[in-house]
């Protein structure tokens, strides 16, 4: 029921997903009066769906604490996540209020043992292919241990969604030199450098390395990650507007646009945010994926595609196994000894 368009996007998006993946079944949680008429237009989806009625839903401007109090046990968002907890559903996908979704998911599903805070991970288009970037908004500020947790969850996601046996992982920093950056980032780097996790720690990366695809996983805390994400989205829109203006200025530029139409179409497809939609909530005892609230049916279907890949590759179990390795690593006394012996600059 959430997002900018509610069921008007969710139902067509789910219908597109059923065409791609006929084995899927859906619990459509929300107002039956709004959902049922839309479902009549999509016979295949109707045959693979069940409506779970509630007329209570979380508004996009609701505070997380308010959503928890007022929607507990009866809002569509709560009931969808609780279906994951009880095993009635394998995963929950929502375009609703991000803060409320994270608060409810953490309250209902709890975090995995060894994970202090969950993170939101996004697939980021790069010059090479795609990279996993986290956290992009769940945790504002993070200490070294939490950054290591993010690295563990990010490499597990990269193995699941990108098909990589040993992903490269970098810590986002103000420079690539080891002496630069906040102390918690440098400490996280020291820990990851001696890690026996299924990853290749590549050191520090800078902001321009995200788009280059320098590493498979970029790790940062939520404040910086969210700003980076929104900046990239805004820059893409800005460049698109510039391109349209330049191509329509003169007769020659318009003629050139006709000849280059195929190339521009390929560029548009590569930069289409709908093809990369879906923020994955990592570190929970269950799978929850956040779709962009302003996306259309194609974008929502992409979020469902990502969810399905996470389930097929059993991401939660991979994170559990890697967290156990990480926990043992953090208990090793030599980690702290390395920290104490390093000269301060």
Which two three-digit tokens encode residue 289? Answer: 């994926």
- 114 in Cβ contact with 324 (< 8 Å): yes
pLDDT interval class at 326 (50, 70, 90): confident
Of the two residues 345 and 283, the one the predictor is more confident about is 283
**Locate tokens 């609230």: which residue?**
293
pLDDT interval class at 329 (50, 70, 90): low
48 in any annotated domain: yes
Is residue 40 classed as helix, strand or coil in its secondary structure?
coil
Residue 161 has pLDDT above 70, yes or no: yes
What integer is the mean pLDDT of 279-288?
95
Question: Which helix (DSSP H) or strand (DSSP E) does residue 317 occupy?
Answer: helix 315-331
250 in any annotated domain: no
Of the two residues 128 and 271, the one the predictor is more confident about is 128
Q: How many CB atoms lie within 10 A of CB 18?
A: 22
259 in any annotated domain: no
Quick: pLDDT tens for 182-234.
899 999 999 898 777 788 999 999 999 999 999 999 999 999 998 988 888 88
301 in any annotated domain: yes
What whole-number distance in Å separates Cα of residue 50 and Cα of residue 27? 5
248 in any annotated domain: no
Identify which of 207, 112, 190 has the alpha carbon closest to the alpha carbon of residue 153.
112
Quick: pLDDT tens for 230-261.
888 888 888 888 888 888 888 888 888 788 88
Quick: pLDDT tens for 30-45.
999 999 999 999 999 9
CATH number for the domain that contains residue 281? 3.40.718.10
Is residue 243 classed as helix, strand or coil in its secondary structure?
helix
296 in any annotated domain: yes
Which residue segment(s) compose the domain that 284 sits in? 1-109+276-312
Quick: pLDDT tens for 75-102.
999 999 999 999 999 999 999 999 999 9
Which two three-digit tokens encode residue 229? Answer: 């994400």
Quick: pLDDT tens for 116-158.
889 999 998 898 888 999 999 888 888 999 999 999 999 999 9
Of the two residues 137 and 337, the one the predictor is more confident about is 137
How far apart, in Å, are the Cα atoms of 300 and each of 36, 143, 146, 339? 19, 33, 30, 45
Total number of domains constituting the chain: 1
How far apart, in Å, are the Cα atoms of 325 and each of 114, 224, 320, 322? 10, 27, 9, 5
340 in any annotated domain: no
How far apart, in Å, are the Cα atoms of 130 and each of 120, 158, 161, 191, 279? 16, 9, 10, 26, 14
Identify which of 59, 52, 42 has the alpha carbon closest to the alpha carbon of residue 8.
42
What integer is the mean pLDDT of 48-70?
91
Vertex 312 angle, CA 272 and 323, to 5°:
95
Phi, psi of 76 (to 5 degrees): -60, -40
pTM above 0.85, yes or no: yes
Residue 333 has pLDDT above 60, yes or no: no
- 89 in Cβ contact with 14 (< 8 Å): no
What whole-number distance in Å separates Cα of residue 238 and Cα of residue 116? 38
Within its chain, how far is the Cα of 307 from the centroid? 10
93 in any annotated domain: yes
Across 277-308, b (16+ Cβ under 10 Å) vs e yields bbbbbbbbbbbbbbbbbebbbebbbbbbbbbb
Residue 342 has pLDDT above 50, yes or no: no
């Amino acid at each position: 029921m959430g997002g900018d368009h509610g069921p008007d996007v969710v139902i067509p998006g789910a219908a597109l997903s059923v065409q791609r993946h006929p084995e899927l079944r859906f619990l459509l949680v929300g107002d039956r009066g709004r959902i049922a008429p839309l479902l009549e237009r999509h016979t295949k989806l109707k045959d693979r769906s069940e409506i779970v009625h509630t007329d209570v839903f979380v508004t996009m401007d609701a505070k997380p604490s308010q959503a928890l109090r007022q929607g507990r046990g009866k809002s569509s968002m709560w009931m969808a996540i609780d279906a994951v907890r009880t095993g009635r559903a394998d995963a929950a996908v929502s375009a609703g209020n991000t803060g409320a979704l994270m608060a409810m998911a953490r309250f209902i599903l709890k975090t995995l043992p060894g994970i202090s805070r969950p993170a939101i991970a996004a697939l980021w288009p790069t010059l090479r292919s795609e990279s996993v970037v986290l956290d992009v908004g769940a945790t504002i500020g993070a200490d070294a241990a939490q950054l290591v947790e993010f690295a563990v969850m990010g490499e597990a996601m990269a193995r699941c969604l990108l098909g990589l046996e040993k992903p490269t992982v970098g810590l986002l920093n103000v420079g690539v030199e080891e002496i630069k950056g906040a102390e918690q980032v440098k400490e996280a780097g020291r820990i990851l450098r001696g890690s026996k996790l299924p990853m290749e720690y590549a050191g520090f990366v800078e902001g321009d390395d995200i788009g280059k695809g320098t590493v498979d996983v970029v790790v940062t805390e939520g404040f910086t990650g969210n700003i980076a994400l929104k900046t990239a989205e805004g820059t893409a829109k800005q460049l698109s507007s510039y391109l349209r203006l330049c191509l329509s200025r003169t007769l020659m530029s318009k003629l050139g646009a006709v000849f280059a139409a195929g190339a521009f179409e390929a560029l548009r497809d590569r930069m289409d945010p709908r093809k990369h939609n879906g923020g994955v909530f990592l570190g929970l005892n269950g799978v929850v994926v956040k779709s962009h609230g302003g996306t259309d049916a194609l974008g929502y279907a992409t979020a469902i595609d990502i969810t399905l890949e996470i389930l097929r590759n059993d991401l939660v179990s991979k994170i559990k196994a890697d967290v156990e390795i990480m926990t043992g690593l953090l208990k090793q006394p030599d980690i702290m000894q390395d920290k104490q012996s390093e000269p301060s600059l």
